[in-house]
Structure 1
Amino acid sequence: MAGHRVPQGILRERAAGERFELSRHEPAPSLRPFVEYYWVVRWDLRGRPPYRQWVLPNLAVHAAFSRNASGVFGPRTTSFDYLLRGRDQVLGVRFRPGSFRPFLGRPVSTLADTSVRLTEILGPAAEGTEEAILAADDTTEMAALADALLAASVPALTPADRRAIGLVEMIAADPAITRVDRLGEAAGLSIRSLQRIFDKHIGIGPKRAIRVYRLNDAAQRIGGTEDTGAIDYAELAAELGYSDQAHFTRDFTAAVGTPPAAYGRE
Structure 2
Amino acid sequence: MDERDSYRVTVAHRIPRGIVAEATARTMFTLTRHPPAPALADFVDYHWVLRWDRRGEPPYEQRVLPNLAVHATFFPGAAGGSGVFGPAHDVFSHRLSGRVQGLGVRFRPGCFRAFLGGPVSDIADRSVPLTDVFGPAATRAAESVRTAADDAQMVRAIDNLLIANPVRLSPAARQAADAVESIARDPGITRVVQLCADTGLTTRSIQRLFAEHVGCPPKWAIRIYRLNDAAQRLVTEGQPDYAGLAVRLGYSDQSHFIRDFRTVTGQSPAEYARRARATEPDRDRT
Higher deviation after alignment, 173-182 or 2-11: 2-11
Q: Which residue of 1 aligns with 2:37?
A: 28
Aligned counterparts of 1:250 and 1:20: Cα–Cα separation in 2? 32
1:9 match: secondary structure: coil
Aligned counterparts of 2:149 and 2:244: Cα–Cα separation in 1? 47
Offset from partner CA, 1:116-162 (integer Å, 9 cap, x none): 11111112111111011012131221111111111111201111111
CA shift, 1:239, in A, is: 1.3
Equivalent position to 1:254, from 238, 263, 270: 263
CA shift, 1:72, in A, is: 0.8
Equivalent position to 1:143, from 155, 173, 177: 155
Given that 1:39 and 1:92 are in contact with CA atoms closer than 8 Å, whether structure 2 keeps it comes out as: yes
**Is 1:126 the equivalent of 2:135?**
no
Given that 1:234 and 1:245 are in contact with CA atoms closer than 8 Å, whether structure 2 keeps it comes out as: yes
2:145 match: secondary structure: helix
Amino acid at match of 1:57: P
Q: Identical aligned pairs, as a percentage?
A: 55
Amino acid at match of 2:265: V
CA shift, 1:262, in A, is: 2.6
CA shift, 1:47, in A, is: 2.0
Amino acid at match of 1:24: R
Q: Which residue of 1 aligns with 2:278?
A: none
CA shift, 1:110, in A, is: 0.8
Unaligned runs of 5+ in 2: 1-8, 276-286
Q: Which residue of 1 aligns with 2:252?
A: 243
CA shift, 1:254, in A, is: 2.9
Given that 1:179 and 1:210 are in contact with CA atoms closer than 8 Å, whether structure 2 keeps it comes out as: yes
Q: Which residue of 1 aligns with 2:84?
A: 72
Amino acid at match of 2:69: A
Q: Which residue of 2 aligns with 1:104?
A: 116
1:262 match: secondary structure: helix
Aligned counterparts of 2:15 and 2:232: Cα–Cα separation in 1? 12
Q: Which residue of 2 aligns with 1:9?
A: 18
Amino acid at match of 1:41: L
Amino acid at match of 1:183: L
Amino acid at match of 1:221: R
Q: Which residue of 2 aligns with 1:86?
A: 98
Amino acid at match of 2:60: Y
CA shift, 1:260, in A, is: 1.3
Given that 1:179 and 1:241 are in contact with CA atoms closer than 8 Å, whether structure 2 keeps it comes out as: no
Amino acid at match of 2:236: G
Given that 2:89 and 2:264 are in contact with CA atoms closer than 8 Å, whether structure 1 keeps it comes out as: no
Aligned counterparts of 2:116 and 2:274: Cα–Cα separation in 1? 42
**Is 1:166 the equivalent of 2:178?**
yes
Given that 1:35 and 1:96 are in contact with CA atoms closer than 8 Å, whether structure 2 keeps it comes out as: yes
Amino acid at match of 1:77: H
Given that 1:98 and 1:168 are in contact with CA atoms closer than 8 Å, whether structure 2 keeps it comes out as: yes
1:18 match: secondary structure: helix
Aligned counterparts of 2:72 and 2:223: Cα–Cα separation in 1? 22
Matches within 5 A, 1:193-208: 193-208=205-220
CA shift, 1:253, in A, is: 2.3
Amino acid at match of 2:56: G
Equivalent position to 1:263, from 272, 277, 284: 272
Coordinate RMSD, CA, aligned:
1.2
Given that 1:31 and 1:154 are in contact with CA atoms closer than 8 Å, whether structure 2 keeps it comes out as: no
Amino acid at match of 1:204: C
1:208 match: secondary structure: helix
Amino acid at match of 1:35: V
2:132 match: secondary structure: helix
Unaligned runs of 5+ in 1: none
CA shift, 1:96, in A, is: 0.4
CA shift, 1:40, in A, is: 1.1
Q: Which residue of 2 aligns with 1:178?
A: 190
TM-score (norm 1): 0.95
Amino acid at match of 2:106: R
